[in-house]
Copies of this chain bind each other. A is one copy, B any other.
Amino acid sequence: MEFKQIKNNKVYEQIIEQIRELIYEGELKKGDKLPSERQLKKDLGVSRASIREAFSALEMIGLIESRPGEGTFIRDSFDEDFFNPLSLILLLNDNVAEELLELRRVLEIDCVKLAAERATAAEIEEMQSYINDLLSSSGYEEESIKADKMFHYTIARASGNKVLLFFMRSISEAMDFHIKNTRTKLVSKEETMSKFARQHEQIFKSLKNHDPEKAAAEMRNHLDYVEKLINKEIEG
């Protein structure tokens, strides 16, 4: 005898499933407008409440966007600034700080290789400005942190791989909470920041010369230093 697992899907999950399939089949594309809640209520034979549960879930993951008075639309890009739920989930796991550090390391090194091959003139110019920011902002914690993050972020963007960029951002966001205090302590030291700035410059030079291996080596060096500091700070 063989029994099939009985799955008592909730209504809102079935609604999501249908929308999902429409996306797979290409019937729903970026920017498309979904039917109104009241229309869907008729079409699907369910209550508006269930539809709204489905919509809020889809909005949470950044797939759709509801605008009062207008309607509900499929988002046209996922690289905009929306809350990334991944970081929330990562929060709940133990030892996740170490794993995040490890993963960031491998991703960032691959990232800088790709960036060295593909970075455009505009992106290189942008990186230069963040290096300048870091040099001139010594003493101002917030500005320093921002300049540091933006430098790395721009590298990720210059990799030309949006999925990679998305992953890097998820990791970065998650790390912000796990290592928040540590980060502030690190950057508050004048000496550390000037060393960061110099390392960034080294990475940047290799990027500018489109030398992937050199850039990777410099990034490795930079991350070694960062991780050493973090470990020292964590362990006391």
Contact = CB atoms under 8 A, between A and B. Distances in A.
A78 B89 contact: yes
A90 B167 CA distance: 11
Given A99-B163, A103-B164, A167-B103, A88 B20 contact: yes
A110 B100 contact: no
A58 B61 contact: no
A187 to B, nearest CB: 21
Number of copies: 2
Given A20-B88, A88-B20, A89-B78, A163 B96 contact: yes
A161 B99 contact: yes
B92 A23 contact: yes
Contacts of A110: 106, 110
Interface residues of A, number: 47
A12 interface: yes
Contacts of A92: 23, 29-30, 63, 74-75, 78
A12 B12 CA distance: 16
Contacts of A177: 24
Nearest to A57: B60
A88 B23 contact: yes
A205 B56 CA distance: 48
Interface string A83-103: 001101111110010011011
